[in-house]
Amino acid sequence: MDPLLAGDLAAFPELLQATRDYATRLLLGINERAVARDPGTLSPAPLPFDGVGAAGALALFGERWAPGFSGSAGPRYLGFVTGGATPAALAGDWLTGTLDQNGSNRSGSSSADLEDETVGWLRDMFHLGQDFTGTFVSGATMSNTVGLAIGREWLGEQLGVEVARQGVGALGPVTVLSGTPHSSVVKALSMLGIGRDALRLVPTLDGREAVDVAALASVLDELGGRPAIVVANAGTVNTVDFDDLRAIASLRSRYPFWLHVDAAFGAFAALSPSHSHLVDGLDLADSVCVDLHKWLNVPYDSAVQFTRRRDLQVRVFQNAAAYLGDPGPNPDHVHLTPENSRRLRALAAWFTLAAYGVDGHREIVVRDISAAQLLGERLAAMPGVELLSPVRLNVVCFTFSGDVGRAVQAIAESGEAFLTPTVYRGVPALRAAFSNWRTSREDVERVVEVLRKHLV
């Protein structure tokens, strides 16, 4: 054995302790750590031929890289939709690496069953029926991709072709309809060979990002009975608007379509008694995307995809090799997603659900929503600031009379908060998205102080 490696093996306990101590210092400092950092310009070091051992690597990381890392896991990082990691989720993530299971198959380990148990818990938490099955993927982009791939196979079933064998060309032109889809849906269409141009944007309700269901019905009507894919959105990124899922689903009695719902973070509205109506009808979907590294607060990379047509899913993703065996009624995960070998990402989600339960996660969701409402109230009272939509859930989308780009940068440079810019209905705007498990009202007041300084 290489002497450095042998030394690390001998000193494994001390090494883990040192890593733990280092992680503890990082975590205890996260509230005061600069929320965002100037990435700077570290040029890549040459490939090391003589290593420095794990303790040396830890020191090197601490000197060279850690200072430039953001405090995105902390309570005042309000960019994009970004979660942190609950204590239990982090523990689960550490153990994921420790046990290093290959979540691709069921042979020789119960780890795949843990994934199934976790998917079942999530299915119940989001009130999806027992006929939904699911699997873990790396993020909502991949969850949307898998859902749309199953929808693509369903189109084939309607048209009497098998896309998995014959290719997407056998379908002829495909129509995908959506009001305000996330960019990842468009990317998925490119990856799936359906093509970005297959997307037809359907008008939204006046002043809203939610689709106009009557307009959707008339576009479906124009298709003259040709099956389509509808992507409904449960939580848009700018204004967190929700399509009327029940009304959309009811159109299936008149028109044939696969209903995919992108509920990446909006699904968590189901946990808040005053917001659960927003996802009413989610269980009527054919496939559902839910991100977990956002509002469940597990570390990256983690999301879940659900569907009621596992048979079609296996048709798409079956990894046909003699040594992998027949998928059978309880297929290995290797037959369910684009991946083959995969990390047991379910473990972090299992830990946080086991630790805090639905009620603990409900508390996080409700607290984040009230943080967004508080920020919304404070901003509405600031001169020159305008909210671009009501605060429907956990995002505040607003503009002000000054230069948005400059404000975003100045806020980031303050180290106190991080917001991301957007353009909403042609208006340059800022978004503050709340999805971290730590965020308190005091954090909101700290953010308000920073915004007061920079929104001028």
Ligand X SMILES: *Cc1c(COP(=O)(O)O)cnc(C)c1O
Pairwise CA distance, residues 191 & 145, whole Å: 8
- Work out the angle at residue 81's Cα, subtended by the Cα atoms of residues 75 and 84, and round it to the nearest 5 degrees: 40
Instruction: Candidates 93, 291, 339, 443: give the one binding ligand X (CB under 6 A).
Output: 291
CA distances from 116 to 123, 151, 348, 350 (A): 10, 22, 13, 10
Taking the complex as a whole, the smallest distance from the CB of residue 137 to ligand X amounts, in Å, to: 9
- Would strands 420-424 and 133-137 be described as parallel, antiparallel, or unpaired? unpaired
- Work out the angle at residue 144's Cα, subtended by the Cα atoms of residues 142 and 149, and round it to the nearest 5 degrees: 95
Nearer to ligand X, 148 or 455 (CB): 148
Nearer to ligand X, 289 or 385 (CB): 289
3-state secondary structure of 288: strand
Instruction: Candidates 265, 295, 317, 398: give the one binding ligand X (CB under 6 A).
Output: 265
- For residue 361, the surrounding DSSP H or E stretch is helix 346-380
Residue 303 binding ligand X, by CB under 6 A: yes
Instruction: Candidates 212, 241, 262, 332: give the one binding ligand X (CB under 6 A).
Output: 262
Nearer to ligand X, 184 or 239 (CB): 184
Nearer to ligand X, 96 or 138 (CB): 138
Provide the 10 A C-beta neighbour count for residue 78: 30
Binding mask 176-195 for ligand X (x = CB under 6 A): ------x-x-----------
Residue 139 binding ligand X, by CB under 6 A: yes
Taking the complex as a whole, the smallest distance from the CB of residue 448 to ligand X amounts, in Å, to: 25
Question: Hey, which bits of 30-143 come out as E strands?
Answer: 133-137
Tell me which long-range contacts 19-25 makes (C-beta under 8 A, separation of at least 24).
Answer: 19/58, 22/58, 22/62
Question: Which span (59-67, 139-147, 211-219, 407-415) binds ligand X, by CB under 6 A?
Answer: 139-147
Nearer to ligand X, 161 or 278 (CB): 278
Residue partners of 241: CB distance under 8 A and separation at least 6? 180, 204, 208, 209, 210, 233, 235, 389, 392
Residue 140 binding ligand X, by CB under 6 A: yes
Residue 292 binding ligand X, by CB under 6 A: no
Specify whether the CB–CB gap between 229 and 381 falls below 8 A: no
Residue 433 binding ligand X, by CB under 6 A: no
Residue partners of 371: CB distance under 8 A and separation at least 6? 394, 434, 439, 440, 441, 443, 444
Residue partners of 364: CB distance under 8 A and separation at least 6? 86, 295, 297, 356, 437
Nearer to ligand X, 303 or 393 (CB): 303
Pairwise CA distance, residues 343 & 341, whole Å: 7
Taking the complex as a whole, the smallest distance from the CB of residue 244 to ligand X amounts, in Å, to: 17
Residue 400 binding ligand X, by CB under 6 A: no
Nearer to ligand X, 109 or 276 (CB): 276
Question: Hey, which bits of 138-238 come out as E strands?
Answer: 176-178, 199-201, 228-233
Binding mask 93-132 for ligand X (x = CB under 6 A): ----------------------------------------
Nearer to ligand X, 128 or 188 (CB): 188
Nearer to ligand X, 192 or 455 (CB): 192
Residue 145 binding ligand X, by CB under 6 A: no
Binding mask 217-246 for ligand X (x = CB under 6 A): ------------------x-x---------
Among left, alpha and beta (phi > 0; psi -120 to 50; other), residue 287 is beta
Residue 213 binding ligand X, by CB under 6 A: no
Question: Which span (138-146, 187-195, 306-314, 400-408) binds ligand X, by CB under 6 A?
Answer: 138-146
Nearest to 274 by CA among 407, 148, 392: 392
Question: Which span (90-98, 260-268, 327-335, 436-444) binds ligand X, by CB under 6 A?
Answer: 260-268
Question: Which span (35-43, 125-133, 136-144, 161-169) binds ligand X, by CB under 6 A?
Answer: 136-144
Residue partners of 80: CB distance under 8 A and separation at least 6? 237, 420, 433
Applying CB under 6 A, what is the total number of residues that bind ligand X? 14
Provide the 10 A C-beta neighbour count for residue 195: 14
Place of tokens 């060309």: 169
Specify whether the CB–CB gap between 167 and 218 falls below 8 A: no
Binding mask 60-89 for ligand X (x = CB under 6 A): ---------------------x--------
Taking the complex as a whole, the smallest distance from the CB of residue 294 to ligand X amounts, in Å, to: 6
Residue 264 binding ligand X, by CB under 6 A: yes
Residues that bind ligand X (CB under 6 A): 81, 139-141, 144, 182, 184, 235, 237, 262, 264-265, 291, 303
